[in-house]
Amino acid sequence: MKITVEPDYRLSLHATGEAGISCTRALRLLLAIETTRNMKAASAEEGLSYRHAWNLIEELQEALGGAVIETAPGRGSRLTELGQRLVWAEKRTRARLGPLLDSIGSEISEDIEAATSRARRVMRMYASHGFAVAALYDRLQHLGIPLDLNYRGSNEALESFHRKVCDVAGFHVPVGGLEKILFGRIQRLFPADARLIHLATRRQGLMVARGNPKNIWSLSDLLRKDILFVNRQPGSGTRAILELLLTQQKMDSKGIQGYDNVEFTHAAIGAYIASSKADVGMGVETGARRFDLDFVPLLTERYFFVCRESLLTDPRFTPILEALQSTAFHAEVDTIAGYDAALTGQIQTVAEAFPYSRSG
């Protein structure tokens, strides 16, 4: 069973005292028009009649007091500036709330399963948000394999695993000079019987507008007065890595404009920059590519799942592990921009993954 939670956007005109109109379908239609540049094609894509589609657009335009699309013979349909702003607001909302809504839906599904006594307790995973994690969850849902996934920052996920709140935790650590420092902060959270399952290797860096118009090439550029930054939330692995990099380069975060502006996913960072709300943010390459942004790589990192050794043979978990180690999933991860599946599915002890921990 899978419960899907989706937002319903309503446009309320408080000055008139009216209850407002739902504009969810109209916004989806605008997204389709942006892609197809054709009203008929967009209507068909959304499963709407041409007449119904125009009714939705006209109702939205009347409520807003302005046009959201314009049409011209031979040029099809395209969004006006107002329409573009609505579309970007929708994209930012999806990027920001999507993982949260997935987590809520997963929790509700588990509650219903438990209430109807049709299943044993589902595996609970807390994981730092990532595109390979989302791909794995989607694959499991398609295969009918239950998993209760909750997105949390790396630190919170590991703390929850340590307290036995969840069965599996997903976290990421940089490769290179910062790895030992960051691992030293989390080493206490791994029990003696911990096993690490490699999900993927991925690239972290700076997301900037297409063409990099402000010539942002390094962290030092973040101190420029003409640069506006958007950050990840405190407790996230990406935020922790950024803070280590700033310390390493003797940079004061107080000099970075927008440092306290936060988003909770890599996709939300990308959407924020693509809609011109900021000039730059730090995240994985995928977040940049999905919003047609440029990407300045800074480092490579490994993403792991951690569980206890006994879980590897638990019949609730073995189907999840098989899906993760499958050739099909490896191929899917390799199609994600900035991700590498060479080690996907490999199982290691903590000492094998981090050899220096033996003396720690």
pLDDT for the residue 235: 84
- Residue-wise pLDDT for 263-286, tens only, equals 988 999 999 999 999 999 999 999
pLDDT at position 232 over 50: yes
Q: Tell me, what's the pLDDT at 14?
A: 47
Average pLDDT over residues 38-62: 88
Q: Which domains does the chain have, with CATH numbers?
A: 1-119 (1.10.10.10), 123-359 (3.40.190.290)
Is the confidence at residue 119, as pLDDT, over 60?
Answer: no
**pLDDT given for residue 112 in this prediction:** 63
How far apart are the C-alpha atoms of 70 and 81, rounded to whole Å?
Answer: 10
pTM, entire model: 0.74
**With 90 as the cut, is the pLDDT of residue 287 above it?**
yes
Residue spans of alpha helices (H) in the chain: 24-36, 39-45, 50-64, 81-116, 131-143, 154-162, 179-186, 237-248, 266-274, 285-289, 318-325, 327-334, 350-353
Average confidence (pLDDT) over 214-243: 95
The 3-class SS string of 312-348 reads: HHCCCCHHHHHHHHCHHHHHHHHCCCCEECCCCCCEE
